[in-house]
Structure 1
């Protein structure tokens, strides 16, 4: 019998980011005074806020004949282990040339070490102004910041453990369907024909079970016609039934994807595929805005989606300006016709909020 042995690992994690600071009208900034600087916009790397400082007339009295550039840690009351590489960009070629590199060290926001480099003589002004780094009164500073985060220690695992890959039964089932192996029922949907396996549909949907294995006419037919559903919606429904996931929708336009999800929620309700119904509600909830909330609320009322209905009501009544914007949309005008009960609830909720 072998003695169980566990092992954990410690790794060093770094995060790197690049910021480009473009400065126009350089000649107008020159002469602003020694130790006076222009600060870039704030950028974040490694969970810390940083900025670039540019001193046209030098950082201090010892650098009056130089331009000075440094990285500044802006995050308050903190320390960061980091390094930086400051470059000037050749305005002719667009390529950066490293002028100063600060090795990995601690930047402390509470003292002078919060800046890098501590050397103020970045480049002699005469050399800089005669170089390709300055063209048409324009210069570009590039800064690459590398932040070393704390050590990351893994959770203990058994040494020589045999790794088990994640379940891929859905992939196998979909491939089985895609190959047309063992199919025993076909569906006609909007002019398209889809093959499937009765037992899989029955396992996933009580409605399909009743239709295909009960006393209904469909149980005796090899070709079942489905009315009032688009082919792409039925295809997505089949994909979820076989794989427990939605098909890839990355290629779809946002409005097209939202419309497909709306129709898929209707299909999920029709065939009692409860998990798919919840997935669709979650997606619609994450895309609620002034333009879409009325259509989403109508769908929630029509298909008994209680939580989604409440979320829509809360969104519309969140402020008077939001409500005014929603009321002005075409979706709200449609809501008044298709789902008047929603307007009653909306009025009641709004009245309670005003009383509060």
Structure 2
């Protein structure tokens, strides 16, 4: 039996029978291709044996077609007689090499698939909510952040942050609708970025802002911790990991420790 080899995702071996397979083939050399694995159903393949040093001018045509079952194979019980082999030019130093060409036959099955006549575009909900934030339509709460005023929607803030939910619908009553909420622990540009994430679930684009991604990520990590927004925390941490270097490592590690994300 030859060593195992792989063709078409299946494992195979060649079996060499120097004295045939029974009394009737005792004067012949037999050779077989064995499927050396367990399969659920038969593997269909074409195969052909020839001497490895045999010169073939035209491409080899594989005519044999058989179904190979688990640990069983197909081949020739009378590949050639021992006498023919001994007188053959292929026998050199009492040895010869056999080549086996294999082609796997895939069975394709056609199935009826429903044809779609309507192309559904990706969701653009974040764009609509961003427009809602920018225009302030229906806004019912005003924030004063360092002298900069921001309008927003209580229901959106409460849905996205447990802290906003408690502050806007717990401690404050419905009669406080006209009250301005003062934010003292965030800079205006950071609160603006926080609102953008609340409405769109996206990290703000810093290309047009004075802060870069790393700086804003540090500020938003603090804001996310303040308002209980775990997803924003993780996004900010991920961005900060990309910018850790000798100059920033101390600051970033201090932030992580302060907000309970030290490693």
- Range of TM-score over shorter length: 0.5 to 0.7
Secondary structure of 1:247's aligned partner = coil
Using the TM superposition, give the Cα deviation of residue 163 of structure 1 relative to its aligned residue in structure 2, in angstroms: 2.1
Per the alignment, residue 201 of structure 2 pairs with: 244
CA distance in 1 between counterparts of 2:245 and 2:114 reads 48
Per the alignment, residue 259 of structure 2 pairs with: 303
Structure 1 gaps of 5+ residues are 1-156, 311-356
1:226 to 159, 183, 192: 183
Name the CA shift for 1:200/1:276 in 2 (closer, same or farther; >3 Å): same
The structure with the larger Rg is 2
Aligned pair count? 151
Normalising by structure 2, what TM-score? 0.53
8 Å Cα contact 2:206/2:212 also seen in 1? no
Secondary structure of 1:194's aligned partner = strand
Alignment of 1:13-92 (within 5 A): none
CA distance in 1 between counterparts of 2:172 and 2:138 reads 23
Structure 2 gaps of 5+ residues are 1-112
Name the CA shift for 1:196/1:284 in 2 (closer, same or farther; >3 Å): same
CA distance in 2 between counterparts of 1:270 and 1:220 reads 23
Cα distance per residue 1:292-328 (max 9 Å; x no partner): 11111100000012xxx32xxxxxxxxxxxxxxxxxx
Q: Alignment RMSD, CA only? A: 2.3
Using the TM superposition, give the Cα deviation of residue 158 of structure 1 relative to its aligned residue in structure 2, in angstroms: 5.4
8 Å Cα contact 2:145/2:186 also seen in 1? yes
Which structure has more helix as a fraction of its residues? 1
Stretches of 4+ moved more than 3 A in 1? 157-161, 216-219
Secondary structure of 1:262's aligned partner = helix
Using the TM superposition, give the Cα deviation of residue 204 of structure 1 relative to its aligned residue in structure 2, in angstroms: 0.3
Secondary structure of 1:195's aligned partner = strand
Using the TM superposition, give the Cα deviation of residue 243 of structure 1 relative to its aligned residue in structure 2, in angstroms: 0.3
Name the CA shift for 1:252/1:200 in 2 (closer, same or farther; >3 Å): closer
Alignment of 1:118-129 (within 5 A): none
